[in-house]
Structure 1
């Protein structure tokens, strides 16, 4: 009987250590999370953008020609206006991934990849193929799988080789 309790304790300890490590990694990869900086920026093509969803989740996409290319929940990859990107979500602000000085981090190749996938259908899956995974695949086509916004932040910090500062779009 004590052995299963020991394994349970070890498992819970490992889980707690993993969560602490993940928080530590994100903390050093993101200087300002969405909503923590008031300095607005002009968005550039190839920038990663996000908005809040009901105060609990985040939705992400790639900025291109004044629109956001996103993977919609029905699986359609589409370009939507900033107003449509925010529609039916809790936030009224689009945030842009920037460096520590507030310069927009943009990747022209990611914009090209996103645009090339417009009007494709991709089997949407909340855990394996969501909006963050779409953004990740535009940045690094053969890259890791991301599910959560924190995982996307870590991947973006690695891709751009610097910590992120999410700033509101002007």
Structure 2
């Protein structure tokens, strides 16, 4: 029985190391100014803003802020609208972070919010690598399907779309 636990531990360690390497790359390439948790500044999200939370310190889950809730692609492949509290449920993070420019303005657009509303309750074949929450967020941002798999790739795309490095700040919201 110890062998499966060792494999699970090794896989988690590998994910953690990969995440740290990706974060260093993002900062080096100037796609990201501040990663989630590096800022004490709190920012109110706007409709169409990109939000994220941590998953056990290894992965990130992303969604779009719309009218006080978050649109996300669930692990079952359903595009749904959930509360901020539900967005954090069963994840390790206690905070939601908002993608901003270096002047603390959320990187957001009303057209993004409307695309989310238009796609509510649609389903897709979810896959952790080839069709995940980051790909959903990028599709809502751009209006086009694009193939990405990681939080790093999403940050790079956000920086390119908004022509600004991304600064992640804690959302100024109630999550209880």
Q: Same fold (TM over 0.5)?
A: yes
Aligned-pair CA distance for 1:25: 6.7
Q: How does 1:20-59 map to 2 (within 5 A)?
A: 23=25, 27-59=29-61
User: For this pair of structures, how many residues does the alignment match?
Assistant: 151
Q: Does 1:72 align with 2:88?
A: no
CA distance 1:117–1:143, change in 2 (3 Å): closer
Structure 2 gaps of 5+ residues are: 1-20
Counterparts of 1:67-106 in structure 2, within 5 Å, are 67-106=69-108
User: Which ranges of structure 1 fall in alignment gaps of 5 or more residues?
Assistant: 1-18
Q: What is the root-mean-square deviation in Å for CA atoms of aligned residues?
A: 1.7
The match for 1:132 among 117, 130, 134 is: 134
User: Helix, strand or coil for the counterpart of 2:61?
Assistant: strand
- Could you tell me how far apart the structure 2 residues matched to 1:24 and 1:83 are? 28
Provide the C-alpha distance between the structure 1 equivalents of 2:146 and 2:30, rounded to a whole number of angstroms. 20
Based on CA coordinates, which of the two structures has the bigger radius of gyration? 1
What secondary structure is seen at the aligned counterpart in 1 of 2:161?
helix
Query: After superposition, what is the alpha-carbon deviation per residue over 1:107-130, rounded to whole angstroms, capped at 9, x for unaligned?
Result: 111111111110111110111110
> Residues of 1 paired with 2:26 and 2:150: CA distance?
16
SS at match of 2:41: coil
CA deviations on 1:56-83 (whole Å, 9 max, x unpaired) are 0000000001000000000010000000
TM-score, with length taken from structure 1: 0.84
Separation in structure 2 between the aligned mates of residue 130 and residue 114 of structure 1, nearest angstrom: 15
